[in-house]
Structure 1
Amino acid sequence: MSGKLLRVGTAYIPVTNVEQSSEWYINKLGAGLSYKDEDKAILNLANQSFFLVKSDENQTLNFIDVHGKERFSMTFEVNGVESLEALYKDLIANGVRVGEFENREHAGRNFVFNDLNGNKFDVWSELSPQFKEKYLEGK
């Protein structure tokens, strides 16, 4: 293979109401709006482009694992436990449904939150070393 995948450019998130969902992501998570029509919105969040796509009811990114537990399909990263705890408090203050802090037997801590449509997202207290090196160190 002569080429290689360099990054994830866009993630697609199913939503039932594009207007309400785009406002939720903007107001609750600080996303920036690039484009919106009745069927989709393009948001910028966490150095990523997200398409909110109008979908039927009960469509989510979530999946059921082999043990019957509903899982998230995406993890966001913050820079340390203090940042994780601050985000947790901000989300609660903004009325976002969040889970408990978790220790998953690896470095750092996590929690899960849900958007308006029940899409689950994970947040981890540790930034990937490549991201730290490229975007944070030396600045």
Structure 2
Amino acid sequence: MENGKILGIAYNVIPVEDLEASAAWFVKHFGFNIRNRREGYLSLFRENRPILDLIQSEHKSRAVFEVRNQRRWVITFFTDDIASLHNYLKSEDVKVGNISDEGKYGKFFVMEDLDGNLFDVWEHHDCELIF
């Protein structure tokens, strides 16, 4: 099958309580730019690449789930300098966990946005990612 293959994930959608405050938070901390603004919905891009769509939701559900009573993330961000990003986010009072070095699997930390959506942040130097 030559055509019609999945090439990757285009973007992820997360629920937020205050669309404008959440968008500003992601722009400030990650340098995303806002596109495709609609009623209660907008897209966040890194340059010309879609990353996240934020949808305003008054419901308290968030982009997390639980395994054995432990909150888990749905989305993993990729970075090429996890220590610098971690230090920056801590200095900005973003809720971040400790960096975990898992050897050949890379380095990770967990962080939370304004709404309690949970994200994993990953650094790995032996993985092909298309930017």
Query: Residues of 1 paired with 2:93 and 2:12: CA distance?
Result: 24
What letter corresponds to residue 41 of structure 1 in structure 2?
Answer: L
Partners of 2:126 and 2:77 lie apart in 1 by 10
Paired residues for 1:24-35 under 5 Å: 24-35=25-36
Which residue identity does 2:19 align to in structure 1?
V
User: Counterpart of 1:90?
Assistant: 88
Aligned alpha-carbon RMSD (Å): 2.1
AA at the equivalent of 1:25: F
- Please give the secondary structure, in 1, of the residue aligned with 2:55: strand
Query: 1:19 corresponds to which residue?
Result: 20
* CA positional deviation for 1:28: 1.5
Q: Which is further off, 69-78 or 1-10?
A: 1-10
Against the structure 1 CA distance between its residues 122 and 55, is the aligned structure 2 distance closer, same or farther, given a 3 Å change threshold? Answer: same
Could you tell me whether the CA contact under 8 Å between 1:19 and 1:38 is conserved in 2?
A: no
Q: Extract unaligned runs of 5+ from structure 2.
A: none
Q: What secondary structure is seen at the aligned counterpart in 1 of 2:35?
A: strand
Q: 1:69 to 1:106 in 2, by over 3 A?
A: farther
Between the aligned partners of 1:33 and 1:128, the Cα distance in structure 2 is 30
Q: Which runs of 5+ in 1 are unaligned?
A: none
Q: Does the 8 Å contact 2:43/2:50 carry over to 1?
A: no
The structure that is helix-richer by fraction is: 1
Q: Is the 8 A contact 1:28 1:96 kept in 2?
A: no
Cα distance in 2, alignment partners of residues 27 and 96 from structure 1: 12
SS at match of 2:21: helix
Q: Give TM-score, length-normalised by structure 2.
A: 0.86
| Equivalent residue pairs, number | 129
Structure 1 residue runs of 4 or more that deviate by more than 4 Å after TM superposition:
none
Structure 2: which amino acid aligns with 1:87? Answer: L
> 1:1-139 maps to which residues of 2 (within 5 A)?
3-45=4-46, 47-65=49-67, 67-79=68-80, 83-104=81-102, 106-127=104-125, 129-131=127-129
The percent identity for this pair of structures is: 27
Q: Which shifted more, 121-130 or 84-93?
A: 121-130
